[in-house]
Structure 1
């Protein structure tokens, strides 16, 4: 799954995350994710 989102720290131990869009990842995106070091 490919996800676009925003992230904002609202307090020291809290955050607000908004999902903008989500879709199934393409074959190339999956391959890239699986082979890149994390």
Structure 2
């Protein structure tokens, strides 16, 4: 199974990502990064 996980770099998202990976679920992380040079 594959899961697209938004917010995977946050507090809850990172814990959820680890939990899903421990259950042998493939996690596709999706995060939006700010560009500080703008």
Query: Would you call these one fold, judging by a TM-score over 0.5?
Result: no
Larger strand share, 1 or 2: 1
Structure 1 length as normaliser, TM-score?
0.32
Structure 2 length as normaliser, TM-score?
0.32
Bigger relative contact order, structure 1 or 2 (CA pairs below 8 A, ≥6 apart): 2
Which has more radius of gyration?
1
